[in-house]
């Protein structure tokens, strides 16, 4: 194998999502079966032993694509020469913590990491933020990464997208691959807007298929408003309630799909990703908002020109208002 290895840095690599990510990346699920990888695992000192344990297990898998693994608590070492960065490690919300405290704690992680990426990563670096609050953490990292183009930063809403596809495929009793053009708009939070108004199933509008399945257009509209949208938007909380901790394998799977489609292309379909807004669909510039996106392998671009009716515009505006409030809070902290 003579391809140049890609250096992939994962922060929070000793945590749960890290453990679910590392082995799949090393097996070629993220960058393809012919692409060798070097892994750089960044942890805080308390997490280094867990990451070192994962590194031992990676060696024991004898993956053909895995060239080397380095574990460190030094961002300068972790980001040196990185082509792909997955920012997973973040500060979880503790009991009694206000949202502003959570934003402050995470701005204190993501601003220095953004600056370290700008200083040490490869010229072609691309950065996916997974750690919550993912959209605003990505905005903070992008703002601190002087000289790295904003379009190289994204945040994960692919999990929400895949959750939406999962709910629709169960309701319509179809395989997920028959569904196209589902969209997640907004924030990776309960204000997000899972939108099926452009979606098709086997080439037919999803709404028509739902009406047939559920016994009419009124039933389809109520299912979308009362079941589908809240279920997808609150799925993260449902998983926490049922499992006792937040989603892990599905989140890692979504992160791998996000990077794979960004790097290898979405081909004829769309997916959803949170990108730094350039004003598309009236979303204020600089907010990291989920949009419908495509990639030809050179990075995600927003699918523009879609019609949104008044109800859809109101739902998007509500999620954008939350993103703007988060931006204002981190701005007050001086983090952007």
- For the record, the structure tokens of 37 come out as 């990888």
Residue of 14, 28, 186, 236 interacting with ligand LMR (CB under 6 A): 236
Q: Please identify, using beta-carbon distances, which residue of 40 and 163 lies nearer to ligand LMR.
A: 163
- When asked if residue 263 is in the footprint of ligand LMR (CB under 6 A), the reply is no
Cis amide prior to 133 (ω within 30 degrees): yes
Using the minimum distance from each CB to ligand LMR, give the nearer residue, 78 or 134.
Answer: 134
Pick the catalytic residue from 161, 188, 198, 258.
Answer: 188
Of residues 179-198, those binding ligand NAD (CB under 6 A): 188
CB nearer to ligand NAD: give 88 or 148. 88
Tell me whether residue 258 is one of the annotated catalytic residues.
no
Stretch that binds ligand NAD, among 43-51, 119-127, 164-172, 227-235 (CB under 6 A): 43-51
User: Binding residue for ligand LMR (CB under 6 A) from 129, 132, 272, 277?
Assistant: 132
77 touches, from ligand NAD, ligand LMR, none (C-beta below 5 to 8 Å by class): none
Q: Which residues, 220 to 259, sit near ligand NAD by CB under 6 A?
A: 246-248, 251
Per partner kind, with CB cut-offs from 5 to 8 A, the member of ligand LMR, ligand NAD, none near residue 239 is: ligand LMR
102 binds ligand NAD (CB under 6 A): no
Judged by CB under 6 A, does residue 36 bind ligand LMR? no
Considering only residues 80 to 99 of the shown chain, the ones binding ligand NAD according to CB under 6 A are 88-90, 92
Q: Quote the CA–CA distance of 67 and 37 in Å, as a whole number.
A: 6
- Whole-angstrom Cα distance, residue 190 to residue 233? 5
Closest CA to 293 of 133, 131, 151: 151
Task: Give me the long-range contacts of 225-231 (CB less than 8 A, separation at least 24).
Answer: 228/164, 228/167, 228/168, 228/171, 228/194, 228/196, 229/193, 229/194, 231/167
- In angstroms, the Cα distances linking 151 to 55, 137, 283, 299, 316 are 31, 15, 15, 8, 21
| Tokens 């699918």, located at residue | 303
239, 252, 283, 287: which one binds ligand LMR (CB under 6 A): 239
Q: What is the CA radius of gyration of the chain?
A: 20
- Does 246 engage in binding with ligand LMR (CB under 6 A)? yes
The reply on whether position 191 binds ligand LMR by CB under 6 A is no
**Beta-strand relationship, 193-195 and 183-185:** antiparallel
- Per CB under 6 A, contacts with ligand NAD among 256-295 are none
Q: Which of 54, 130, 164, 330 binds ligand NAD (CB under 6 A)?
A: 130
Helix or strand run (H / E) with residue 97: none
Contact residues for 186 (Cβ-Cβ < 8 A; gap 6+): 192, 193, 289, 290, 315, 316, 318, 319, 320, 322, 323
- Residue 11 interacts, among ligand NAD, ligand LMR, none and using kind-specific CB cut-offs from 5 to 8 Å, with ligand NAD
For residue 275 the two structure tokens come to 């990108």
C-beta of 233: minimal distance to ligand NAD in Å? Answer: 12
* Residue 77: Cβ within 10 Å count: 15
Angle between helices 134-144 and 99-120 (to 10 degrees): 40
CA 160, 162, 163, 167 torsion: positive or negative? positive
Residues with a catalytic annotation lie at: 188
Residues that bind ligand NAD (CB under 6 A): 11-12, 14-18, 42-44, 46-47, 88-90, 92, 109, 130-132, 134, 156, 159, 188, 246-248, 251
Residues that bind ligand LMR (CB under 6 A): 132, 159, 236, 239, 246-247, 251
């Amino acid at each position: 194998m003579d391809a140049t290895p890609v250096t992939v840095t994962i922060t929070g690599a000793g945590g749960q999502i890290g453990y679910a990510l590392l082995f799949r990346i090393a097996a070629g699920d993220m960058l393809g079966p012919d692409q060798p990888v070097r892994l750089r695992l960044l942890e805080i000192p308390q997490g280094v032993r867990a990451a070192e344990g994962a590194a031992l297990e990676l060696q024991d898998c004898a993956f053909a694509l895995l060239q080397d693994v380095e574990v460190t608590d030094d961002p300068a070492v972790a980001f040196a020469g990185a082509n792909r960065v997955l920012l997973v490690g973040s500060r979880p919300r503790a009991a009694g913590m206000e949202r502003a405290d959570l934003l402050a704690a995470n701005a204190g992680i993501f601003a220095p990491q953004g600056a370290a990426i700008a200083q040490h990563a490869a010229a072609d670096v691309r950065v996916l933020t997974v750690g919550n609050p993912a959209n605003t953490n990505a905005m903070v990292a992008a703002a601190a990464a002087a000289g790295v183009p904003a379009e190289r930063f994204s945040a994960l809403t692919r999990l929400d997208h895949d959750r939406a596809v999962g709910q629709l495929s169960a309701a319509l009793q179809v395989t997920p691959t028959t569904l196209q053009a589902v969209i997640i708009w907004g924030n990776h939070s309960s204000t997000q807007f899972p939108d099926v108004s452009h979606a098709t199933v086997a080439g037919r509008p999803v709404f028509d298929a739902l009406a047939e399945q559920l016994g009419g257009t009124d039933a389809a509209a109520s299912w979308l408003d009362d079941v589908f949208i809240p279920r997808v938007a609150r799925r993260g909380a449902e998983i926490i309630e049922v499992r006792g901790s937040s989603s892990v394998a599905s989140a890692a799977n979504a992160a791998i799909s996000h990077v794979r489609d960004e790097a290898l292309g979405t081909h004829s379909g769309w997916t959803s990703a949170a990108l730094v807004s350039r004003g598309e669909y009236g979303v204020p510039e600089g907010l990291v908002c989920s949009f419908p996106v495509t990639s030809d392998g050179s990075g995600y671009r927003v699918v523009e020109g879609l019609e949104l009716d008044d109800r859809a515009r109101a739902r998007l505006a509500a999620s954008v208002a939350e993103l703007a409030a988060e931006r204002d809070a981190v701005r007050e902290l001086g983090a952007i």
